[in-house]
């Protein structure tokens, strides 16, 4: 528990320092910085973190169940009205004051090992909340990676479109020179002007997509300054991953031991089993011991002996007429005894043991056991469903990653071929052997191939990262 609390305190300090750092640092964000910031500031993650603290409190309560109960009671009372005067033995209108104190001690000797099972459940509860916290972190990480890659794609796509706009302007200028030299008819430049206008529109669309993606990432990171937010200019080349050399079944078996959602589902089964044991423990008898000590103090006057005796006649002998007397001690009114003396004179002890045997309780225990058995079955079924879903997801992710790499390779070949076709069309157009329409179509196909290759690249990167993530490889580019 101490280790867990230290990690929790470290989490709070790190999150606080990170928030302050992020607010003061306007440098471009790397993927690693974005992922760390999102994990430390996401509201759902904070809520899950509070659940861990709550689970710690439950464990402390479970440990406290092993300790005896000890209570101290103190009281002072005023009795106002008609009371018996102890000094005169008469009923009088007066006020009496009393103080009392008691100590009660109770200990649970045996209760069907309920306390042990409750501590077991509390420990499992901490594990479950920690797995839940880590699972939320992983979901946020994947979301940030996907959004970050979308920003990166939009940024590179904008750069490509801007470069193509420069090329289109240069081509139009070259065409204008050819027209003025009489190499090609004047009408050929109209198609290139339309191509230039379409490329300008493509730049505007790319700028809009980049802005939307950039603001979406800033909102995901809970940042307020959208104007200065930007991502780092780094070259993210797609490097062949060894993850595809593994069989999907191997990835699945590895994920079963590392995925927090699976570990959470397994812990929930253990928690349901512990609850069932607690419910069954109610069938067993319970044995408890108790001890109490109490004393009281009076503040009223009292009668005390003076050491003298008075002869009091109590009758006479009938035959002789002799008076019969008795000695009666003489008393006087005195104040109350000192408090320490009264505490010892008026104290009392009470102790014993109690045995409780459940016989009939309206079928409460039986139905509670039945409900917990259903809960165990439900948790087990949820675990099996989670495993099936994970297996399906990994096989699908493996196929997606493999297809993504193949699609990227095909896109590279297409771009290379379109580039050659574009260069060939440009050479022919420059000597008047091809029309501007033919040249524009070749250029548009080349531009589309570049965009398709770029999208295939980042799609393949994300799919591979997802597959590596299931295998337990950290999310980095």
Q: What span, in angstroms and rounded, lies between the C-alpha atoms of 235 and 180?
A: 42
Q: Is 327 part of any domain?
A: yes
Residue 194 token pair: 């339309």
In a domain? residue 331: yes
Per DSSP, which regions of 317-372 are E strands? 323-334, 348-356
Question: pLDDT by residue (tens digit) across 339-358?
Answer: 777 777 788 899 999 999 98
Confidence of residue 184 (pLDDT cuts 50, 70, 90): low
pLDDT of 22: 43
Model pLDDT, residue 71: 94
Structure tokens at 264: 């959470």
The pair phi, psi for residue 29, each rounded to 5°, is -90, 130
Q: What is the pLDDT of residue 5?
A: 40
Angstrom distances, CA of residue 422 to CA of 156, 196, 419, 445, 456: 21, 16, 5, 8, 21
DSSP bridge partners of 95: 80
Among 27-36, 186-195, 205-214, the range scoring the smallest mean pLDDT is 186-195
Q: What is the mean pLDDT of residues 310-335?
A: 77
Asked if the structure places residue 27 within a domain, the reply is no
pLDDT, residue 362, reads 82
pLDDT of 21 strictly over 90: no
Give φ, ψ of 21 to 5 degrees. Answer: -65, -45
Instruction: Flag whether 324 is in a domain.
Output: yes
Residue whose tokens read 């209570």: 71
Percent of the chain with pLDDT over 90: 35
Domain assignment present for residue 317? The answer is yes
Q: Mean pLDDT across the chain, nearest whole number?
A: 83
When pLDDT is cut at 50, 70 and 90, the band that residue 439 belongs to is confident
pLDDT of residue 175: 74
Q: Give the residue with greater pLDDT, 164 vs 429.
A: 164
Asked, for residue 139, whether it belongs to a domain, the answer is: no
Distances (CA, A) of 274 to 77, 109, 115, 267, 386: 48, 21, 11, 10, 21
For residue 283, pLDDT beyond 60:
yes
User: What is the residue range of 328's domain?
Assistant: 302-335
What pLDDT, in 10s, does the model give residues 225-274? 888 888 887 666 665 567 888 899 999 999 999 899 999 999 999 999 99
- Look at residue 120 and tell me if it is in a domain: no
Q: Any idea of the CA torsion for 133, 135, 141, 147, to the nearest 10 degrees? A: -110
Report the number of distinct structural domains present in the chain.
Answer: 1
23 belongs to a structural domain: no
CA distance 174 to 430: 8
Tell me the mean pLDDT in the region 194-219: 90
What's the pTM?
0.74
More confidently predicted of 443 and 89: 443
For the segment 4-19, the average pLDDT, to the nearest whole number, is 39
Instruction: Give the confidence band of 8 by pLDDT, cuts at 50, 70, 90.
Output: very low
pLDDT over 70 at 205, yes or no: yes
């Amino acid at each position: 528990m101490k280790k867990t609390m230290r990690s929790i305190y470290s989490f709070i300090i790190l999150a606080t320092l990170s928030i302050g750092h992020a607010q003061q640092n306007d440098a471009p964000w790397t993927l690693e910085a974005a992922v760390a910031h999102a994990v430390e500031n996401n509201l759902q993650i904070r809520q899950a973190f509070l659940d861990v603290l709550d689970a710690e409190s439950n464990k402390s309560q479970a440990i406290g169940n092993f300790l005896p109960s000890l209570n101290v009671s103190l009281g002072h009372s005023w009795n106002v009205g008609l009371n018996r005067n102890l000094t005169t033995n008469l009923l009088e209108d007066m006020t009496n004051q009393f103080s009392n104190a008691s100590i009660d001690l109770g200990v649970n000797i045996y209760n069907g090992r309920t306390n042990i099972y409750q501590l077991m459940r509390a420990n499992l509860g901490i594990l479950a909340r920690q797995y839940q916290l880590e699972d939320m972190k992983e979901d946020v990480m994947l979301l940030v990676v996907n959004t970050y890659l979308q920003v990166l794609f939009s940024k590179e796509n904008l750069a490509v479109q801007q470069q193509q706009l420069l090329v289109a302007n240069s081509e139009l200028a070259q065409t204008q020179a050819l027209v003025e030299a009489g190499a090609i008819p004047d009408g050929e430049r109209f198609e290139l002007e339309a191509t230039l206008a379409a490329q300008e529109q493509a730049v505007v669309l790319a700028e809009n997509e980049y802005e939307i993606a950039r603001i979406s990432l800033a909102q995901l990171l809970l940042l307020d300054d959208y104007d200065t937010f930007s991502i780092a200019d780094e070259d993210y080349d797609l490097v062949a991953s060894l993850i595809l050399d593994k069989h999907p079944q191997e990835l699945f078996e590895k994920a079963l031991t590392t995925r927090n959602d699976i570990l959470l589902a397994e812990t929930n089964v253990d928690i349901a089993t512990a609850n069932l044991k607690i419910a069954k423990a109610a069938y067993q008898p319970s044995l408890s011991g108790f001890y109490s000590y109490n004393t009281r103090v009076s503040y009223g006057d009292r009668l005390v002996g003076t050491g003298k005796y008075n002869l009091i006649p109590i009758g006479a002998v009938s035959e002789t007429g002799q008076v019969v007397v008795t000695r009666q001690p003489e008393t006087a009114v005195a104040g109350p005894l000192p408090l320490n003396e009264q505490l010892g004179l008026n104290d009392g002890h009470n102790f014993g043991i109690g045995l409780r045997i459940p016989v009939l309780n309206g079928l409460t225990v039986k139905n509670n056991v039945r409900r917990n058995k259903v809960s165990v079955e439900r948790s087990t079924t949820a675990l099996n469903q989670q495993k099936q879903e994970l297996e399906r997801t990994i096989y699908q992710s493996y196929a997606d990653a493999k297809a993504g790499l193949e699609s990227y390779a095909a896109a590279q070949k297409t771009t290379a071929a379109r580039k050659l076709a574009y260069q060939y069309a440009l050479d022919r157009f420059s000597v008047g052997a091809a029309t501007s329409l033919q040249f524009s179509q070749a250029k548009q196909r080349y531009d589309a191939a570049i965009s398709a290759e770029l999208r295939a690249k980042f799609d393949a990167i994300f799919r591979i990262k997802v597959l590596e993530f299931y295998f337990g490889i950290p999310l980095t580019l």
